[in-house]
Amino acid sequence: MLRVISGSAKGLKLFTLEGMNTRPTTDRVKENLFNIILPYIPGSNVLDLFAGTGSLGIEALSRGANSAVFCDRSEQSADIINRNLQHTKLMDKSQFFLGEAQLILKKLSQLSKKFDIIFLDPPYKKEIVPGILQDLENYGVLDEKVLISVETDIEDQLPQQIGTLCVSRQQIYGKTKLTFYKRI
């Protein structure tokens, strides 16, 4: 069962996708993630890339983020995120973009969007995170004090630095690794 842990939508259950195409962040990992980033959330603009069910962006909105942009390439994810945003009454603070991450980042750049918090929760063991981090920098969607949370398998190797982004913290929870990037 996926749920909102805290804030205005606390305790509400979220709809999930059936099957193995998504891997929702567990409550334990999500709770620890949000304990770490709590000071950054109020008034922030959030990007939930590879959003799946929208759980991370919705949690941020519930805890006081100003806005959230959800992105995924799956139409099923789009439907689930829309249902979850309606259920949590957070639609008015949200936008959804359907498509591949790189194309969406280009579009967000053209719309002059900038983000304070970015959640990257891509498919595990695909080695796509370094390219996405580089795209985030190249497309200029990073706020000056950006915090990027990357959720991966513990075996996934991530660079210590890409451009102006540098690892600031890493936590391991079972087989899940959270890596946080900040600007140097």
Per-residue pLDDT of the chain (184 residues; tens, 9 = 90+): 789 999 999 999 999 987 645 667 878 899 999 999 999 999 999 999 999 999 999 999 999 999 999 999 999 999 999 999 999 999 999 999 999 999 999 999 999 999 999 999 998 888 899 999 999 999 999 999 999 999 999 999 999 999 999 999 999 999 999 999 999 9
Answer whether 87's CB lies under 8 Å from 53's CB: no
> Could you tell me the pTM of the whole model?
0.95
Nearest to 68 by CA among 89, 38, 44: 44
Length of the chain: 184
d(CA 13, CA 27): 12
Write down the pLDDT at residue 20.
Answer: 46
Write down the pLDDT at residue 56.
Answer: 97
Write down the pLDDT at residue 74.
Answer: 94
**2-6+25-183 has which CATH code?**
3.40.50.150
DSSP conformational letter for 157? -
d(CA 39, CA 83): 28
d(CA 174, CA 158): 18
Q: What element of type H or E holds 70?
A: strand 67-72
Chain centroid offset of residue 95 CA: 13
Domain ranges of the chain: 2-6+25-183
SS3 call for 93: helix
